[in-house]
A and B are shown apart, each in its own frame.
Chain A
Amino acid sequence: MIFAIFIPLLFALFVPLLSKLKERIHTGIFVLFIPLSIFLYFIRFIGKDFVPIKQTYQWIPSLGINLDFYLDGLSLLFILLISGIGTLVVAYSIYYLDRTERLGHFYVYLLMFMSAMLGVVSFDNIFAIYTFWELTSISSFLLIGYWHFKERSRYGAQKSMLITIFGGLSMFGGFILLSVIAGTTSIRELILHADIILNSNYLPLALILILLGAFTKSAQFPFHIWLPDAMEAPTPVSAYLHSATMVKAGIYLVARLSPIFSSYEWFFIIVSTFGIVTLCWGSYMAVRQTDLKAILAFSTISQLGMIMAMLGFGTKVAIFAAVFHILNHATFKGSLFMVAGVIDVQTGTRDIRKLGGLFTFLPITATLALFGTFSMAGIPLPFLNGFYSKEMFFDSTLQLTQSGNGIAQFMVQIIPYLAVIGSIFTFVYSMYFFFGVFGGKKHTMKLAKSPVEAPIGMLIPPMILVLGVIGIGLFPNAFNGTFLAHAAEAINPLSSAGHIKFWHGLNTPFIMSLIVVGVGFVLFKTKNVWKKIYDILPGRFSFNKVYDQIIKNIDIVSTKITNKYMNGSLGTYISLIIGAIVVVTGFVMIQTGGFTISFDNLAEITIIELTVAVLIVIAAIATIFSNSNLAALLITGVVGYGVSVLFLIYRAPDLALTQLVIETVSVVLFLLAFLHLPKMRKRSEKPPVKLKNIIISVGFGALMTLVGISAHSSNWFEPISDYFLDTALPIGGGKNVVNVILVDMRGLDTLFEITVLGIAALAVFTLIKLRKDKEEAD
């Protein structure tokens, strides 16, 4: 059973081979059998006596990450939606996509998405869910950017990628928090340990992070902006991903985790608020759109907001209504997207201003659209499923009783009004969609093609979905006890809807529905009068502009910052490096009391050493002020020879010897180089730069002095040199201990030091000898 999830992914491997045959057989025909067989496999689980099924497959057991397949009512609902609508979408795409398209790519992405989505809804392990969650983001990115030669497609793909991955990562953070708090990675065990999570201090953080993931994926306000831009995808993709499946992943996640959080008051406040606001804003904005798919995109946003709000309510009625509406929305919205695609293909445009009066030209399409839009509007007719769930939605808003803090109580007061307002606009855009395309006068001269009815194969998939709309509408109870009730019980064990009835009597929800239809009708008829309101709200403001500004500014600011410190000047880099060393080391020394000074155990001070030291200091400082090559060379030499004298005084004959020789050779080298180097110039720094340089260098010198004194003043353990002194003769066979160390005890150092010299010599030779320009001249 668990392998059902991977079948699309495995089949995707063979699609490239099959797509070679596309001139003879459309690749989609092969693909069609995959979702169909999954659908048929899972449909047999529908039934009154369904019990959850569990299967485990070990993946990373050491981290507690396993592929725990868990099939309960909610998973079953989503699996059937994914595979069922997947089948129809593949069938539709066979007619929609021409054989000249890159079909192999399309079906590989689509199958990848199918596997990912099946994985999200059927695994019990949060990290497995996260893995598949990101796979849906990636495959959705690929599908939105399918026509990658279009600039808008790339923009939409990037935008959806950035927003959903942002949400996905924060959700990952929330999952990690949950698993750390409760000590388990299984959702069912998390639900068992809900009390630990609810008492944790990290509860708000975990909740917000997870909800961020759910809200971005399900296009909740204000993260909804990616969905309208994702409409650049081919229409089958829009129908599948952006109406029926992927955008419901966030809904699924909230539903899945609501047994943990539902008793937490802020869960109700946050989820309901975002849901209701999304419902109102989405439906309000949908009326403004002129592109058919954009209307449907905002409509999807608004309907998702409604489902999210119901999940937030968490009452028995609300949960059942949410589950019911997930099913209903998938049927009518899928069919509407397919209808929009048909109109696009048959007329050559999706702009509603150019369309009109198509009823006589596309009668079948128009009939399908009629059922879809009227169901979406929630018109009270017994064969439209949208009405039932909307009625339950109104019912659930009225049944809210939240005690507790003021915000929750205030929300309980206003939610029914907002729900009615959102539904009124839903009615308006549904009518606008239907009558804008099919009603009114025909102005076919504006169209690129003369419209004729689509081939029947293209109409069958939306027809099946519309049959679903009608079927659920006429026999809602056929789906209730066997199917929907199990899904609702998975979210809230207490929720069972009882009997779904069309006629409840003249109660408040029905009156609300009548208000929606009445006011909606008036608003639709007077649309041209009040349309100006969109110039005031949102006016010129839009969340897209905010997003674009953020993206642009991230670019500008990071460029500015980088150019500020990566300015190509060596002086700046050295200042930064030395400055950082001084500040960090100094800070640590002060913080930890690292500075110690002790005057015992010091060597005595003699005049001769002092004289040499003073001489070195004078010579060193003079290097700064000398402006002639020769003088600079000589005083640098003085420092070197002074150091060798100090070596001599401090009983280091080998050092003194080496230093003397090397200093002499260095002086010769310097002389040679100076012959060719430009003359030394006067230092020409501006006073502020000079001050900065002085501060940095004096700071570094002072720090090193302090480190030296502190290191000398703290004696942690005896040096190991006695060993060298004792064993130099018996083991090393030499009396000069320094030389024995160099060649015997630590001979490896010497080996590589010789290598360093050799490489330096080679490098010098190459630098002088090899000239690319000279070779080219030859």
Chain B
Amino acid sequence: MEIIISILAGIIFAVAVYNLLQKQMIRIIIGTVLISHAAHLFILTMGKLKRGQPPILSEGVTSYTDPLPQALILTSIVISFGLTSLMLVLAYRTAQENKTDNMEQLRGKPNE
């Protein structure tokens, strides 16, 4: 199963990068959201999938899944959420100020 999840993450990465390469800002943001999903799946896979019970200690259970990747992913989810929301607002303000959401037209001024 780990191999399948790796492939799944790879596909999401590919789709995300393809979205990043687009001109419209929404598509770029969707690309970043997808890239963080792929990364989370990636981290989870590295810690081996399904080797026991959820990491909540209870009587009589000897085998738990690896708790460390889960803690890492939890941190990462929150951070990427913060970034996504900031980017959305940024995109909204940029589109409002510059009257365009095309990245090719947003090039700054010469010698800026």
Within 8 A of B (CB), among A741-758: 741-742, 746, 749-750, 753, 756-757
Considering the complex, give the chain B residue whose CB is closest to the CB of A597.
B3
Determine whether A639 belongs to the interface, using a CB cutoff of 8 Å to chain B: yes
- B84: shortest Cβ distance to chain A, in Å? 6
Query: In the complex, are the beta carbons of A719 and B75 less than 8 A apart?
Result: no
What CA separation (Å) do A749 and B86 show in the bound complex? Answer: 20
Considering the complex, give the chain A residue whose CB is closest to the CB of B7.
A705
B31-60 interface bits toward A, Cβ cutoff 8 Å, 1 = contact, 0 = none: 001100110111011111111111111100
Which of A234-242, A422-430, A608-616 contacts its partner? A608-616
User: In the complex, which residues of chain A have a beta carbon less than 8 angstroms from the beta carbon of B89?
Assistant: 673, 763-764, 767-768
User: In the complex, which residues of chain A have a beta carbon less than 8 angstroms from the beta carbon of B7?
Assistant: 705
The prevalent SS among residues of B at the interface is helix
Query: In the complex, are the beta carbons of A651 and B8 less than 8 A apart?
Result: no
Query: In the complex, are the beta carbons of B24 and A681 less than 8 A apart?
Result: yes
Query: In the complex, are the beta carbons of A666 and B67 less than 8 A apart?
Result: no
Query: In the complex, are the beta carbons of A653 and B95 less than 8 A apart?
Result: no
Q: A617-B11, A721-B66, A768-B93 are in contact. Are A666 and B81 (CB under 8 A)?
A: yes
Count of chain A residues with Cβ under 8 Å from any Cβ of B? Answer: 96
Q: A568-B108, A650-B44, A764-B86 are in contact. Are A757 and B30 (CB under 8 A)?
A: no
Query: In the complex, are the beta carbons of A725 and B42 less than 8 A apart?
Result: no
What CA separation (Å) do A724 and B71 show in the bound complex? Answer: 11
Within 8 A of B (CB), among A693-746: 693-694, 696-698, 700-705, 708-709, 711-712, 719-721, 724-725, 728-729, 735-738, 741-742, 746
Query: In the complex, are the beta carbons of B85 and A669 less than 8 A apart?
Result: yes
Query: In the complex, are the beta carbons of A756 and B82 less than 8 A apart?
Result: yes
Query: In the complex, are the beta carbons of A665 and B50 less than 8 A apart?
Result: no
Determine whether A676 belongs to the interface, using a CB cutoff of 8 Å to chain B: yes
Determine whether A571 belongs to the interface, using a CB cutoff of 8 Å to chain B: yes
Contacting A742 at CB < 8 Å: which of B5, B6, B44, B74?
A: B74
A657-679 interface bits toward B, Cβ cutoff 8 Å, 1 = contact, 0 = none: 01100100110011011101110
Q: A650-B65, A659-B77, A735-B56 are in contact. Are A702 and B14 (CB under 8 A)?
A: yes
Q: A624-B18, A639-B12 are in contact. Are A741 and B68 (CB under 8 A)?
A: yes
What CA separation (Å) do A753 and B72 show in the bound complex? Answer: 11
User: In the complex, which residues of chain B have a beta carbon less than 8 angstroms from the beta carbon of A720?
Assistant: 68
User: In the complex, which residues of chain A have a beta carbon less than 8 angstroms from the beta carbon of B3?
Assistant: 597, 599, 602, 709, 712
Determine whether A620 belongs to the interface, using a CB cutoff of 8 Å to chain B: yes
Query: In the complex, are the beta carbons of A643 and B67 less than 8 A apart?
Result: no
User: In the complex, which residues of chain B have a beta carbon less than 8 angstroms from the beta carbon of A741?
Assistant: 67-68, 71
Q: A575-B21, A652-B70, A705-B9 are in contact. Are A636 and B34 (CB under 8 A)?
A: yes
Q: A647-B44, A701-B17 are in contact. Are A613 and B74 (CB under 8 A)?
A: no
Number of residue pairs spanning A and B whose beta carbons lie under 8 angstroms apart:
269
What CA separation (Å) do A742 and B66 show in the bound complex? Answer: 14
- A247: shortest Cβ distance to chain B, in Å? 41
Query: In the complex, are the beta carbons of A603 and B78 less than 8 A apart?
Result: no
User: In the complex, which residues of chain B have a beta carbon less than 8 angstroms from the beta carbon of A698?
Assistant: 14
The prevalent SS among residues of A at the interface is helix
Contacting A696 at CB < 8 Å: which of B17, B55, B64, B104?
A: B17
Query: In the complex, are the beta carbons of A693 and B88 less than 8 A apart?
Result: no
- B101: shortest Cβ distance to chain A, in Å? 5
User: In the complex, which residues of chain B have a beta carbon less than 8 angstroms from the beta carbon of A643?
Assistant: 37, 40-41
Determine whether A632 belongs to the interface, using a CB cutoff of 8 Å to chain B: yes
User: In the complex, which residues of chain B have a beta carbon less than 8 angstroms from the beta carbon of A658?
Assistant: 74, 77-78
What CA separation (Å) do A588 and B3 show in the bound complex? Answer: 22
- A765: shortest Cβ distance to chain B, in Å? 9
Considering the complex, give the chain B residue whose CB is closest to the CB of A720.
B68
Query: In the complex, are the beta carbons of B9 and A736 less than 8 A apart?
Result: no
Considering the complex, give the chain B residue whose CB is closest to the CB of A648.
B54
User: In the complex, which residues of chain A have a beta carbon less than 8 angstroms from the beta carbon of B6?
Assistant: 704-705, 708-709, 712
- A589: shortest Cβ distance to chain B, in Å? 14
Determine whether A557 belongs to the interface, using a CB cutoff of 8 Å to chain B: no
Q: A570-B103, A651-B52, A708-B42 are in contact. Are A760 and B86 (CB under 8 A)?
A: yes
Considering the complex, give the chain A residue whose CB is closest to the CB of B12.
A620
Query: In the complex, are the beta carbons of A654 and B30 less than 8 A apart?
Result: no
- A518: shortest Cβ distance to chain B, in Å? 65
What CA separation (Å) do A670 and B81 show in the bound complex? Answer: 12
Query: In the complex, are the beta carbons of A705 and B10 less than 8 A apart?
Result: yes
Considering the complex, give the chain B residue whose CB is closest to the CB of A650.
B49
Query: In the complex, are the beta carbons of B21 and A610 less than 8 A apart?
Result: no
User: In the complex, which residues of chain A have a beta carbon less than 8 angstroms from the beta carbon of B50?
Assistant: 603, 649-651
Within 8 A of A (CB), among B67-112: 67-68, 70-71, 73-75, 77-79, 81-86, 88-93, 95-96, 100-101, 103-104, 107-108
Determine whether A578 belongs to the interface, using a CB cutoff of 8 Å to chain B: yes
- A697: shortest Cβ distance to chain B, in Å? 4
- A196: shortest Cβ distance to chain B, in Å? 54
Within 8 A of A (CB), among B10-30: 10-28, 30
Query: In the complex, are the beta carbons of B70 and A738 less than 8 A apart?
Result: yes
Interface hub of A647, A750, A760, A761 (most chain B Cβ within 10 A):
A760
- B97: shortest Cβ distance to chain A, in Å? 9
Query: In the complex, are the beta carbons of B34 and A620 less than 8 A apart?
Result: yes
What CA separation (Å) do A615 and B90 show in the bound complex? Answer: 31
Could you list 5 examples of A-B contacts with CB < 8 Å?
A620-B11, A659-B77, A681-B24, A711-B46, A735-B58
Q: Which 5 A-B pairs have the closest CB atoms?
A: A701-B14, A705-B10, A708-B6, A760-B82, A697-B17
Contacts A704-B9, A705-B6 aside, 17 further interface pairs with beta carbons under 8 A come to A602-B3, A609-B1, A616-B12, A620-B12, A623-B15, A640-B37, A650-B49, A655-B77, A697-B18, A705-B7, A721-B67, A735-B56, A737-B64, A756-B78, A756-B82, A767-B90, A768-B89
- Residues of B with Cβ closer than 8 Å to A? 1-28, 30, 33-34, 37-38, 40-42, 44-58, 64-68, 70-71, 73-75, 77-79, 81-86, 88-93, 95-96, 100-101, 103-104, 107-108
